[in-house]
């Protein structure tokens, strides 16, 4: 009998423990609701905490729980969570994934909610609203934006007696200066020809008059002459020894080489400001022009899960995240350029030692990152195929042939 | 005449009673035994057997976004024959296995035999060899990545001191796989060494004493006594290392960058599985790769079990 009692008790305890795991439901009494906010950037935690605090002054009954997942796993986790209906109520979204999520009916269209509350979308740059509009519906409220600038190391320029980059620069000038600044003995490269699409070959392709995805969304433009020329221009820096090789840049990140003064110039985004401002020799200018001026623009948005249990609370929070007040908090911390029109100046003043105006100037002639349902797949093919051109294994012409074939296949499967 | 059968009846009765008692006793023993193994069995069923069956099922499907899938029959398996990446990843995994398993076993036996001697600081050495086992694979990969860095790594710096320009250890497609193999062998020695040590200590001393009296030298003793008596342990270790080597992933994931030029020449079967399942969201094909890997491991393990009759001594 005693044994049976013991057994029973053990089993009971087991059940209680198991039940305890699944019993943290959101309804925590007193009419309070709890919503979760999923995002990936640890650097923005202080700003987000502050925003939640002022949100709670207005809505004390909505508790916001944050959930950080590193970028590397963020979308894998969302995908699994979406399959199991366990998405955070409110979460960050980027342009590469919004089509896929909107199409899969995983995130909530906000058009009707915005209309009902008279929420104006005119407060954000048009290119970003365009980015988050899928089939005439808006799915995300823009949170921040980023363009690309030409970062440079003033010390290397001074030592070589070369004037700093400005808005008159074009492709030829960039190459010419890269040649002057490359110093094999000191281990200094003039330019880092990164293999990245945003702030890399996409920008060059647009500057040269090319396109990434055709208007009808059925084919990619990598094999067009303008694109080939732009990609070749990129690779030529490596061929001529003005840039670290692809192998060197995968072993040691170019941003690290730049921070430690081994690279004179490179393209990078405003998200690197907190890192690069540690080096007093570093400044930034607008990217050089090709046949025309162009720079990629991208921005994150806050979206709501389609199956959220607290739709109203989530929408209130998203509205607040998109408000001028929240934008000003982001601006003051200097981490990202807030998307709310007119708050960008405050961001610029957060780090007065660097010419952050260069990023804001770019907005004017910016091109939104192309976004289709299979963007993720195409990006993977770009990495797989273009790296062979970057490491000079195959010619640019052969690489774009393979890439175009694979990418067009994904587009036709959509 | 009545008395005797009665007696017999009584005897038979007691017999029945006894065997009944034994039966209930046995049954209750079984009951407890099953109850005790139930948690593990349940765990195995829920977390291993069920996913395996599901993977098998999914290998016949094609996946869209967010968990929608459709039955496509043998399409995924047909696709494998045309997938040059899959063939390459089998080749990479094959090379990885051919080097890590035999060299790893050889070195761990060597270390185990040496550390089974009466030498000073034996436990210090044992600890040192075992340290990589308790270190996180991610940490190991990070440290080796630094050592291997072609411009700023310690390895190439040391080579430069004697006037050699070191290669790009993890970026050169011809070398990268062997650099990984070296790390894998290094980090695997400790674990196998401990198993071999316990095997060595299970060999009765009397054999050695007899061999000594017969005048056998240490090398002969090693090959005629130590090695045959250690063969069951060697068999066990070779099966486990082979299965482990087939599933290599973390080293490659951590040490070879996603945009590295050496990726094609280093990616293993499991890496390709990961790529299809989680990067390209092609979960049906990924499941097919997993099933193929399972079958290959089963076949090779079965071959090992057949071959072991020829070289493993169980006495």
CATH number, domain of A241, equals 3.40.190.10
Looking at residue A345, its pLDDT comes to 85
Q: What is the pLDDT of residue A370?
A: 87
CA B59 – CA B237 distance, rounded (Å): 31
Give the gap in angstroms from C-alpha A98 to the nearest C-alpha of chain B: 12
DSSP string, A385-401: HHHHHHTTSS-HHHHHH
Residue A55 is assigned to a structural domain of this protein: yes
Q: Are residues A118 and A136 in the same domain?
A: yes
* Shared domain check, A74 and A191: no
Same domain (yes/no): A157, A210: yes
Which is more confident, B69 or A230?
A: A230
| Per-residue pLDDT, B18 | 61
Tally C-beta pairs within 8 A across A and B. Answer: 64
| A145 closest CA partner among A346, A326, A366 | A366
Residue A364 covered by a domain: no
What local confidence, expressed as pLDDT, does residue A9 receive? 59
- Tell me yes or no: is domain B75-311 CATH 1.10.3720.10: yes
Q: Which residues pair with A138 in a beta bridge?
A: A133
Residue numbers of the domain that contains A118: 35-146+299-350
pLDDT at A23: 42
Q: Are residues A52 and A132 in the same domain?
A: yes
Which of B35, B150, B279 lies closest to A251 in CB terms?
Answer: B150
Residue with tokens 């393209």: A267
C-alpha–C-alpha distance, residues B240 and B235, integer Å: 9
Q: Which residues of chain A have pLDDT under 70?
A: 1-31
| Long-range own/partner contacts, residues A7-12 (CB < 8 A, 24 or more apart) | A7/B35
Does residue A342 belong to any structural domain of this protein?
yes
- For chain B, the structural domain boundaries read 3-58, 75-311
B-chain residues near A104 (CB < 8 A) = 64-66, 68
Q: Taking CB atoms and an 8 Å limit, are A83 and B35 in contact across chains? A: no
Determine, for residues B151 and A252 on separate chains, whether the beta-carbon distance falls below 8 Å.
yes
C-alpha distances in Å from residue B8, one per residue of A186, B18, B22, B54 = 108, 15, 21, 60
Instruction: Enumerate chain B positions whose Cβ falls within 8 A of a Cβ in A.
Output: 35, 64-68, 145, 148-152, 168, 170-172, 257-262, 278-281
Residues A229 and A240 in one domain: yes
Q: Does the distance separating the beta carbons of A106 and B35 come in below 8 Å? A: no
Residue B298 has pLDDT above 80, yes or no: yes
* Residues A233 and A255 grouped into a single domain: yes
**Strand, helix or coil at A144?**
strand
Residues A269 and A392 in one domain: yes
Q: Exposed, middle or buried by CB within 10 Å (0-12, 13-18, 19+), for B297? A: middle
Query: What are B138-170's pLDDT values in tens digits?
Result: 899 999 999 999 888 999 999 999 988 889 999
Yes or no, beta carbons of A251 and B258 under 8 Å apart: no
Tokens of B105: 């076993």
Cα separation of A147 and A337, whole Å?
9
The mean per-residue pLDDT over the stretch B99-117 comes to 93
Which two tokens mark B146? Answer: 């630094």
Using CA atoms, how far apart are residues B65 and B173, in angstroms rounded to an integer? 34
In a domain, A285, yes or no: yes
- For testing contact with chain B, the best of A3, A6, A134, A247 (most B CBs within 10 A): A247
Which whole-number Å values give the CA distances from A237 to A83, A174, A266, in the listed order? 44, 10, 12
Same domain flag for A60 and A165: no
Residues 50-109 of A with CB under 8 A from B: 76, 79, 82-83, 100-101, 103-104, 106
Is there a domain that residue A136 lies in?
yes
Asked if A83 and B66 come within 8 Å (Cβ–Cβ), the reply is yes
| Same structural domain, A134 and A204 | no
**Is A221 at the interface with chain B, CB within 8 A?**
no
Pick from A1, A107, A251, A257 the residue to mutate for testing the B interface (most B CBs within 10 Å): A251
- One domain for residues A342 and A385: no
Q: Do B258 and A79 touch (CB under 8 A)?
A: no
A380 vs B: CB within 8 A: yes
Locate all alpha helices (DSSP H) within A132-224, ordered by sequence.
154-160, 171-181, 202-207
Whether residue A377 lies within 8 A of chain B, CB to CB, comes out as yes
DSSP per position, B58-77? HTTEEE-GGG-EEE-TTHHH
| A304 close to A315: Cβ distance less than 8 angstroms | yes
- A27 inside domain: no
- Asked whether residue A254 falls in the same domain as residue A400, the answer is yes
Domain count, chain A: 2
In a domain, A358, yes or no: no
Answer whether residue B1 shows pLDDT above 50: no
Q: DSSP string of A209-256?
A: T--SB-TTSS-B-TTSHHHHHHHHHHHHHHHTTSS--HHHHHHS-HHH
Nearest residue of A to residue B260, measured between CA atoms: A250
Tell me, yes or no, whether A14 lies in a domain. no
In contact, A268 and A148? CB cutoff 8 Å: yes
pLDDT for the residue A271: 83
pLDDT of amino acid B23: 74
Residues A288 and A393 in one domain: yes
């Amino acid at each position: 009998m005693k044994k049976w009692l013991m057994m029973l008790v053990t089993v009971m305890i087991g059940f209680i423990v198991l039940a305890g795991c699944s019993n943290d439901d959101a309804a925590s009494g007193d009419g309070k609701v709890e919503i979760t906010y999923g995002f990936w950037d640890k650097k923005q935690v202080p700003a987000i905490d502050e925003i939640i605090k002022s949100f709670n002054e207005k809505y004390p009954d909505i508790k916001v729980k944050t959930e950080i997942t590193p970028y590397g796993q963020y979308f894998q986790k969302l995908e699994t969570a979406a399959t199991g209906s366990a998405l955070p109520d409110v979460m960050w979204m980027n342009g590469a994934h919004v089509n896929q999520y909107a199409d899969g009916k995983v995130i909530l269209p906000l058009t009707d909610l915005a209309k009902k509350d008279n929420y104006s979308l005119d407060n954000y740059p048009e290119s970003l609203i365009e980015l988050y509009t899928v089939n005439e519906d808006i799915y995300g409220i823009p949170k921040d934006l980023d363009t690309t600038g030409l970062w440079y190391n003033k010390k290397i320029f001074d030592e070589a007696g070369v004037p700093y980059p400005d808005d008159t620069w074009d492709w030829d000038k960039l190459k010419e200066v890269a040649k002057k600044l490359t110093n094999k003995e000191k281990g200094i490269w003039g330019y880092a020809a990164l293999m990245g699409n945003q702030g890399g070959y996409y920008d060059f392709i647009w500057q040269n008059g090319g396109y990434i995805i055709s208007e009808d969304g059925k084919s990619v433009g990598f094999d067009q002459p303008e694109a080939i020329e732009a990609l070749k221009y990129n690779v030529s820096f490596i061929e001529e020894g003005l840039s670290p090789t692809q192998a060197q840049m995968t072993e040691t990140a170019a941003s690290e080489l730049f921070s430690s003064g081994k690279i004179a110039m490179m393209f990078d985004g405003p998200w690197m400001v907190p890192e690069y401002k540690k080096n007093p020799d570093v400044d930034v200018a607008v990217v050089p022009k090709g046949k025309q001026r162009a720079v990629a623009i991208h921005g994150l948005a806050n979206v709501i899960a389609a199956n959220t249990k607290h739709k109203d609370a989530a929408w209130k929070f998203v509205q607040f995240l998109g408000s001028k007040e929240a934008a000003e908090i982001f601006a003051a911390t200097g981490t990202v350029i807030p998307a709310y029109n007119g708050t960008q100046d405050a961001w610029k003043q957060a780090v007065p030692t660097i010419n952050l105006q260069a990023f804001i100037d770019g907005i004017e002639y910016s091109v939104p990152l192309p976004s289709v349902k299979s963007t993720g797949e195409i990006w993977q093919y770009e990495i797989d195929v273009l790296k062979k051109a970057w490491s000079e294994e195959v010619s640019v012409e052969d690489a774009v042939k393979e890439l175009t074939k694979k990418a067009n296949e994904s587009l036709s499967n959509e | 005449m009545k008395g005797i059968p009665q007696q017999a009846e009584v005897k038979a009765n007691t017999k029945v009673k006894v065997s009944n008692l034994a039966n209930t006793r046995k049954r209750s023993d079984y009951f407890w035994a099953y109850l005790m193994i139930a948690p593990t069995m349940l765990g195995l069923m829920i977390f291993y057997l069920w996913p395996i069956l599901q993977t098998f099922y999914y290998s016949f499907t094609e996946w869209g976004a967010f968990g929608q899938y459709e039955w496509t029959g043998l399409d995924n398996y047909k696709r494998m024959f045309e997938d040059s990446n899959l063939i390459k990843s089998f080749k990479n995994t094959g090379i990885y296995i051919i080097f890590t398993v035999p060299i790893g076993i050889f070195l761990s036996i060597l270390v185990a035999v040496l550390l089974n001697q009466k030498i000073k600081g034996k436990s210090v050495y044992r600890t040192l060899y075992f340290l990589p086992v308790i270190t996180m694979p991610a940490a190991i990969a990070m440290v080796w990545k630094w050592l291997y860095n072609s411009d700023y790594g310690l390895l190439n710096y040391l080579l430069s001191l004697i006037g050699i320009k070191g290669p790009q250890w993890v970026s050169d497609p011809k070398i990268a796989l062997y650099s990984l193999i070296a790390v894998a062998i290094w980090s695997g020695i400790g674990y196998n060494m401990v198993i071999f040590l316990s095997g060595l200590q299970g060999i009765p001393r009397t054999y050695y004493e007899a061999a000594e009296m017969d005048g056998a030298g240490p090398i002969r003793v090693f090959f005629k006594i130590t090695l045959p008596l250690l063969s069951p342990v060697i068999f066990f270790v070779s099966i486990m290392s082979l299965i482990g080597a087939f599933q290599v992933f973390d080293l490659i994931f951590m040490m070879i960058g996603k945009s590295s030029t050496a990726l094609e020449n280093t990616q293993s079967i499991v890496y390709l599985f990961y790529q299809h399942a989680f990067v390209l969201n092609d979960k049906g094909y990924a499941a097919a790769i997993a099933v193929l890997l399972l079958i290959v491991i089963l076949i090779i393990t079965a071959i090992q079990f057949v071959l072991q009759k020829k070289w493993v001594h169980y006495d």
